[in-house]
Amino acid sequence: MKLPSVCPLDCPDTCSLSVTVENARITKVAGSDANPYTASVICNKVARYYPDFVHGKSRLTRPLRRIGPRGSGRFEPIDWDTALDLIHDGFSRAIDEYGPQSVLPFNYAGPHGELAGGSMDRRFFYRMGATMLDRGPLCGGVRGTAYSSLFGPAPGMPPEQAVNSDLVLVWGNNVTVSNLHLMRVLKQVRAAGGQVVVIDPKRIKLAEQCDLFLQIQPGTDVVLALALAAELERRQVLDMAFIDQWVAGADLYLEQARGFGVADVEQACGLTAVQFHMLADWIAAARNMATSLGNGIERGCSGGSGLRAAMALNALMGQHGRPGAGVVAKPGSAFPRTTARLQGDHLKRPGTRVFNIVDVAEKLLDETLDPPVKALMIYNHNPVATHPDQTALLRGLEREDLFIVGADVVMTDSMAYCDVVLPAASHFEYADIYGAYGQTWLQRADPVIPPVGDSLPNTEIFRRLAARFGYDEPEFQDTDQDLMDQAMNGADPRLEGIAPSALPTDRALDMGRRDGAPLIMCDTVLPATPSGRIELFSQDLEQRFGCGVPVYRPAKPDLPFTLISPSSAKRTNTTFGGHADSLGPEQVEMHPEDAERLGLSDGERVRVSNARGAVELVLSVTDATRPGVLYSPKGTWRQSSATGLTVNALIPADLRADIERGAVYNETFVEVRRA
């Protein structure tokens, strides 16, 4: 039997799925044509690993109580009532002695269904008065703020609209690994005679099929973008009429840009003057230029500035207001979400303490914190495999005075540290409604199999917790159907009069239109900034972070190599990291010149280290990376390295991006020797 579903993973594409079910077991996951953008194509990792993820030996099927040292993985099964009692006791001990802010939900973006991602859980912790997290700084928050500093909360160009472009800049976006369906669009652009430029520290697959590849030094995107702005001004090709009508702050911006030139691009970015001038030529000549930005740029000390400067090029060149001219970003703003209603924001207590998610390890280890964190609930997240400074986080989780609850679909490195582990249902086992952050198609899915074992959907887990804590307000009585209807504005005409909870499961609805017209910035969509224009100077960012215009903060390497750790073709962040294909040592790519200098050979084990820790990886000698730059895919689990640590142990948590204090994954400096 083939049934429709939707991929819930932390990926911009949010594919529609066709799931083959035999005897209540998933035997095959494939793409479906319900979502016209993803059009029956899905990535290999979901097709290959999801059935094992749902039914494999790591699947959590019963609540567990820890019976061994933290991290040992020794648990005994218990029933749900016992688990709820233990959680009530553990949280109540913390609350009675230190108040509700001593409890911290430690959640991120595991499943992207609106209900599983954040609904009844938020109501529960808001009602409790727990400390909450600002989660954006771990990933995506810098990019989001960079975008909204220029455009406000207005949707950018939906990706499929780039078929109308004759020049596409793919900047810090490894499309084949983490934005798969943009490939089809880019192929159409090139087939129609358009050009695709890839700007990336690694020679990604797309770089071998593009018209110009700029292998930029990590963290220097802002230098290239500012120098391009200055060069285009010098050539007198800026669109002054567009700037007069639609752009604010261009004078201050260009004053900053004039401080950068081709010599900086050569010296800081490691690009040639020929490459720089070729790109400037192409931008000057483009009729419709689209800029597609991935999350790679944000992971540097100048990451927010790099993103803003890259986006500013479209504004300065008048590359908005037409199909195919614009910035491919934030199409998710097009969904008629009613998140405050779904999450019960009115239950939030005034003065709720909020931590930056990247600071959690520091908070757990801070003996002066008042009130201290005494109880933690990890869900929708595998922080041990995701956060910078892994060893600091492990030290925090090892605290014996800390009560830790976890909920997940499978046993993970993080669940191994919990006192009580709850079995969460996979998204194949409950109904949910799906927006997206990389495209504009609204989808809904029903369960395709019953919950495996005693697992429960997140909504029911928190409903039961609320009941156990005596929270009897109506907000905790809502069914999943109620929650779906509270997740989106059912009165939005694009829902065609259908209640969100009744949306068809075999057809996605297009949110990429307004009053029937496609979303086009400075035409059907207006900048939603205080000035009503695209703001190249941000008063907000000036006040909060001292960077009203983009600023270059050069990295300060203290070791010979820069290690970057972008997405893997085998995992979506850390999901599927427990599959056998990911449990062996991960690869690290090194340029042949570096390998020769160090006397290292392809295929041998190397120890990559800095003062924070050491990881064992398998060397891959390739000129896909620059000399001095190492590449190792993120999302591995601890078992994959003989040291019990992953590349995250090498990543600093004290270095932060210029805006939102975002995590800086790509300014990690290491040395390498034979293992």
Q: Which stretch binds ligand SF4 (CB under 6 A): 38-46, 336-344, 522-530, 546-554?
A: 38-46
Q: Are 331 and 155 in contact (CB under 8 A)?
A: yes
Closer to ligand SF4 by Cβ: residue 41 or 598: 41
What does the block give as tokens for 43? 């990535």
Write the secondary structure of 516-554 as one string of H (helix), E (strand) and C (coil). Answer: CEECCECCCECCCCCCCCEECCCHHHHHHHCCCCCCCCC
Q: Which stretch binds ligand SF4 (CB under 6 A): 4-12, 281-289, 514-522, 625-633?
A: 4-12
32 is an interface residue for ligand SF4 by CB under 6 A: no
Distances (CA, A) of 41 to 11, 36, 180, 458, 575: 14, 10, 9, 28, 20
Closer to ligand SF4 by Cβ: residue 29 or 103: 29
Q: Which are the contacts of 55, defined by CB distance < 8 A and separation ≥ 6? A: 25, 26, 452
Q: Which are the contacts of 493, defined by CB distance < 8 A and separation ≥ 6? A: none
13 is an interface residue for ligand SF4 by CB under 6 A: yes
* Number of residues near ligand SF4 (by CB under 6 A): 11
DSSP state of 159: G
Closer to ligand SF4 by Cβ: residue 44 or 601: 44
572 is an interface residue for ligand SF4 by CB under 6 A: yes
Cβ burial 570-599 (10 Å sphere, 16+ → b, else e):
bbbbbbbbbbeebeebbbbbbbeebbeebe
Rounded to a whole number of angstroms, the minimum distance from the CB of residue 421 to ligand SF4 is 25
Closer to ligand SF4 by Cβ: residue 180 or 630: 180
Rounded to a whole number of angstroms, the minimum distance from the CB of residue 363 to ligand SF4 is 31
Rounded to a whole number of angstroms, the minimum distance from the CB of residue 231 to ligand SF4 is 36
Sort 55 into a burial class: Cβ within 10 Å, 0-12 / 13-18 / 19+. Answer: middle
Q: Of these, 46, 425, 465, 657, which contacts ligand SF4 (CB under 6 A)?
A: 46
One-character DSSP codes across 430-441: S-EEE--SSS-E
Closer to ligand SF4 by Cβ: residue 320 or 570: 570
The alpha-carbon radius of gyration of the chain (Å, integer) is 24
Rounded to a whole number of angstroms, the minimum distance from the CB of residue 584 to ligand SF4 is 22
Closer to ligand SF4 by Cβ: residue 127 or 181: 181
14 is an interface residue for ligand SF4 by CB under 6 A: yes
Rounded to a whole number of angstroms, the minimum distance from the CB of residue 180 to ligand SF4 is 4
Closer to ligand SF4 by Cβ: residue 11 or 196: 11
Cβ burial 303-313 (10 Å sphere, 16+ → b, else e):
bbbbbbbbbbb
Q: Are 150 and 311 in contact (CB under 8 A)?
A: yes
Q: Of these, 175, 180, 508, 650, which contacts ligand SF4 (CB under 6 A)?
A: 180
Print the binding letters for residues 469-498 with ligand SF4: x by CB under 6 A, - otherwise: ------------------------------
Q: Of these, 19, 42, 139, 317, which contacts ligand SF4 (CB under 6 A)?
A: 42
Closer to ligand SF4 by Cβ: residue 180 or 265: 180
443 is an interface residue for ligand SF4 by CB under 6 A: no
Q: Which are the contacts of 425, defined by CB distance < 8 A and separation ≥ 6? A: 409, 451, 452, 455, 456, 457, 458
Closer to ligand SF4 by Cβ: residue 11 or 452: 11
What does the block give as tokens for 368? 């002066």
Print the binding letters for residues 303-342 with ligand SF4: x by CB under 6 A, - otherwise: ----------------------------------------
Dihedral sign computed on CA atoms, order 121, 126, 129, 134: positive
9 is an interface residue for ligand SF4 by CB under 6 A: yes
43 is an interface residue for ligand SF4 by CB under 6 A: yes
Rounded to a whole number of angstroms, the minimum distance from the CB of residue 48 to ligand SF4 is 10
Rounded to a whole number of angstroms, the minimum distance from the CB of residue 360 to ligand SF4 is 26
- Rounded to the nearest angstrom, the gap between the alpha carbon of residue 523 and the centroid of all alpha carbons in its chain is 29
Q: Of these, 15, 243, 402, 624, which contacts ligand SF4 (CB under 6 A)?
A: 15
7 is an interface residue for ligand SF4 by CB under 6 A: yes
Closer to ligand SF4 by Cβ: residue 122 or 427: 427
Q: Are 631 and 589 in contact (CB under 8 A)?
A: yes
Q: Which stretch binds ligand SF4 (CB under 6 A): 9-17, 122-130, 241-249, 364-372?
A: 9-17
Residues comprising the chain, all counted: 675
Give the residue from 382, 162, 154, 179 showing the smallest Cα distance to 296: 179
Type of residue numbered 268: A
Closer to ligand SF4 by Cβ: residue 39 or 278: 39
Rounded to a whole number of angstroms, the minimum distance from the CB of residue 37 to ligand SF4 is 10
Closer to ligand SF4 by Cβ: residue 112 or 638: 112
Q: Are 13 and 177 in contact (CB under 8 A)?
A: no
Rounded to a whole number of angstroms, the minimum distance from the CB of residue 461 to ligand SF4 is 23
409 is an interface residue for ligand SF4 by CB under 6 A: no
Q: Are 539 and 608 in contact (CB under 8 A)?
A: no
First to last CA, the chain: 50
600 is an interface residue for ligand SF4 by CB under 6 A: no
Closer to ligand SF4 by Cβ: residue 14 or 625: 14
Q: Which helix H or strand E contains 444, and what residues bound it?
A: strand 441-445
Rounded to a whole number of angstroms, the minimum distance from the CB of residue 473 to ligand SF4 is 35
Give the residue from 568, 448, 546, 440 showing the smallest Cα distance to 492: 440
What does the block give as tokens for 51? 């059935």
Distance CA 534, CA 652 (A): 34
Which residues of this chain interact with ligand SF4, rule CB under 6 A? Answer: 7, 9, 11, 13-15, 42-43, 46, 180, 572
